Structure 1
Amino acid sequence: MLSNQMELFLQYGLAIFWTVTYVLIIIQGFKDRACGMPLPAICANITWEFLFAFMMPFHPLQMIISLVWFLLDCVILFQGVYFAKKQFPPRLLLPAIFSLLVISLLLHVGMIVEFHDQEGKYTAFGINLMMSILFIKLPFTQGLKGQTIYIAYYKMIGTLCASILCYSLYPDSILLLLLCLLTTIADIVYIGIIHRAVHITKRSSAPLAPTLRA
């Protein structure tokens, strides 16, 4: 068990690092004219934050954090819709996003009721794992657009803070432990992929060395 001061430190850590992650995704998204978060992850995130900011807040600090994240995710969702309409017509894209939002919201509510989880910890860590897996796919579908190595690192640090805090609060939960471990592994894989992609991009864009002549 961690001390109350350490738990509070981890709470602030996950709030700060995840907020910075969202802000960096937004900045890089506008810079690259691409969405830096997969649409299913955005929909799952934004519905969770809506629930725990407006409908089921369980702590004043958590409510404020969820509200900030919700507003930031609204911007990311706008990016997802705006920049994706070059690839998908609105008559297909908008119903798909609406369907994802409804499905996500219903699943959140269902899991909260089924697991008696008023804090939303199972859905939160489930979303986190799904997001980390989808982030691994992102460089293969859109290259480095909307992504940076800083986003990858801040995301992992924020998740580590949440994982350590979760284990301290619920040390007997095998499911939560597995979700935390698998998310950490996926984040490390994602960082490795981004590092590799950045290295390849730099190497391909580097000027050729002059040829020595006898």
Structure 2
Amino acid sequence: MLTLVSGLAWTLVYVEAIRVGLRDRTYAMPVAALALNLAWECTYAVGDLRTGLSPQGVVNLVWAVADLAIVYTYLRYGRTELPAFVTRPVFAAWSALVFATGFAVQWLFLAHFGTHDASRYAAFLQNLLMSGLFLGLYAARRGPRGQSLLIAVAKWLGTLAPTVLFGVMEGSGFILGLGLLCSVFDLAYIGLLSRGKGEAALRGRPDPSR
């Protein structure tokens, strides 16, 4: 049940991130977290294909395809978020470096910890990074443009479920600690977006996080 909750919640995150990115002509997931997510899903989907396709492997493939759609929104609209001196060649080179680094990090985890531990440790650490970067995205954009309360809530629930599964039921203190830290940041982000919705309603303006 917890695995199902996590899978459904993260699927909602990806679908909503694609929708919001296309609607607001921006990208709805911080690029460093996006690079790590894409690398994680591709790495473990390919690994699963080599040993025999499992339900989780199918999910990883679906998530990887969804991440590619989010990558498209980043490549399509991301340069407009940067200063004018960031030319197209510089943006392309920087983006290539970020996504290549995402794969390098996943492979280093895999080489050091092995598949079982690497998949979990990397997932929770990049999840914590994403939680912090969402707050940074809100601050950088000075509001909820390109963001969504649904993304925030689904991301929190999608992380909370495996935190209970691996951290509590399987007794991993490391994962439990990372998962709790994710919740702290996720709830802060939910609070920011909820406050933004309330302020928009009071002003009688459309809420950009919807």
TM-score over 0.5 (shorter chain): yes
For the residue of structure 2 that corresponds to 1:118, the secondary structure is helix
Provide the rounded CA distance (Å) in 1 between the counterparts of 2:153 and 2:195.
14
Which of 67, 79, 82 in structure 1 is aligned with 2:76?
82
Provide the rounded CA distance (Å) in 2 between the counterparts of 1:92 and 1:174.
42
For the residue of structure 1 that corresponds to 2:150, the secondary structure is helix
Matched, 1:174 2:166: no
* C-alpha deviation, 1:118, in angstroms: 3.2
Task: Please say which of residues 42-51 and 54-63 is displaced more in the overlay.
Answer: 54-63
Aligned residues: 197
* C-alpha deviation, 1:116, in angstroms: 2.7
Task: Please say which of residues 39-48 and 83-92 is displaced more in the overlay.
Answer: 83-92
* C-alpha deviation, 1:42, in angstroms: 0.6
Off by >3 Å, runs of 4+ in structure 1: 55-59
Matched, 1:125 2:124: yes
* C-alpha deviation, 1:175, in angstroms: 1.7
Which of 4, 7, 16 in structure 2 is aligned with 1:15?
7
Contact 2:6–2:158 (8 Å) recurs in 1:
yes
Provide the rounded CA distance (Å) in 1 between the counterparts of 2:184 and 2:67.
24
Which of 90, 93, 99 in structure 2 is aligned with 1:92?
90
Task: Please say which of residues 101-110 and 35-44 is displaced more in the overlay.
Answer: 101-110
Matched, 1:107 2:105: yes
Instruction: List alignment gaps of at least 5 residues for structure 2.
Output: 206-210
Larger radius of gyration: 1
Contact 1:49–1:70 (8 Å) recurs in 2:
yes
Q: In the alignment, which residue of structure 1 is the partner of 2:160?
A: 160
Q: How does 1:1-214 map to 2 (within 5 A)?
A: 9-56=1-48, 60-86=54-80, 87=82, 88-118=86-116, 120-142=119-141, 143-168=143-168, 170-171=170-171, 173-205=172-204
For the residue of structure 2 that corresponds to 1:133, the secondary structure is helix
Letter in 2 for 1:51: T
Contact 2:48–2:54 (8 Å) recurs in 1:
no
Q: Deviations over 1:21-45 (max 9, x none)?
A: 1101111111111111111011010
Letter in 1 for 2:35: C
Contact 1:10–1:161 (8 Å) recurs in 2:
yes
Q: In the alignment, which residue of structure 2 is the partner of 1:212?
A: none
Contact 2:41–2:64 (8 Å) recurs in 1:
yes
Instruction: List alignment gaps of at least 5 residues for structure 1.
Output: 1-8, 207-214
Letter in 2 for 1:116: G
Q: Deviations over 1:37-63 (max 9, x none)?
A: 111011010001110111356760111
Letter in 1 for 2:33: A
Provide the rounded CA distance (Å) in 1 between the counterparts of 2:169 and 2:38.
25
Contact 1:26–1:36 (8 Å) recurs in 2:
yes
Contact 2:37–2:126 (8 Å) recurs in 1:
yes
Q: Deviations over 1:132-152 (max 9, x none)?
A: 110111111122112121111
Q: Deviations over 1:137-195 (max 9, x none)?
A: 11111221121211111111111112111124530x32211111101111111101111
Q: Deviations over 1:89-108 (max 9, x none)?
A: 32111111111122121111
Please report the RMSD computed on the Cα atoms of aligned residues, expressed in angstroms. 1.7
Cα separation, partners in 2 of 1:38 and 1:181, compared to 1, 3 Å: same
Task: Please say which of residues 52-61 and 66-75 is displaced more in the overlay.
Answer: 52-61
Provide the rounded CA distance (Å) in 1 between the counterparts of 2:169 and 2:39.
24
Provide the rounded CA distance (Å) in 1 between the counterparts of 2:42 and 2:31.
16
